[in-house]
């Protein structure tokens, strides 16, 4: 189970992201390009996982990617 990056309590999975009842925030894991910091696109096919940077236009090694928790709004319109 994942823990909240803000208060370290266990989070509950929800379709919008992981929810922390203590902080009352939603969180999602996000991977950024190690070269330009742009948000990476996840490519999954045949059991393989790759990352693509739309700004650099290159595939990135999974070993170089460090996913981090990002707080998200519960409403997609906000």
Could you tell me the CATH number of the domain that includes residue 20? Answer: 2.10.290.10
In a domain, 67, yes or no: yes
Tokens of 35: 């070269």
In this prediction the pTM is 0.73
CA–CA distance, 57 with 42 (Å, rounded to integer)? 13
In a domain, 61, yes or no: yes
Q: Is the pLDDT of residue 21 over 90?
A: yes
CA–CA distance, 20 with 78 (Å, rounded to integer)? 19
- Per the structure, the complete domain to which residue 50 belongs is given by 12-72
In a domain, 59, yes or no: yes
Give the model's pLDDT for residue 52. 96
Q: How many domains does the chain have?
A: 1
Q: Average pLDDT, stretch 1-15?
A: 93
In a domain, 33, yes or no: yes
**pLDDT digits over 34-73, tens only?**
999 999 999 998 888 899 999 999 999 888 899 999 999 8
Give the model's pLDDT for residue 56. 96
DSSP string, 37-72: -PBPEEEEETTEEEEEETTTTEEE-GGG---EEEEE
């Amino acid at each position: 189970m994942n823990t909240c990056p803000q208060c370290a309590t266990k989070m509950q999975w929800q379709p919008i992201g992981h929810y922390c009842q203590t902080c009352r925030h939603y969180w999602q894991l996000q991977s950024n390009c190690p070269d330009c910091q742009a948000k990476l696109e996840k490519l999954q096919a045949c059991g393989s996982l790759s990352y693509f940077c739309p700004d650099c236009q290159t595939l990135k090694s999974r070993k170089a990617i460090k996913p981090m928790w990002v707080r998200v709004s519960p409403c997609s319109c906000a």
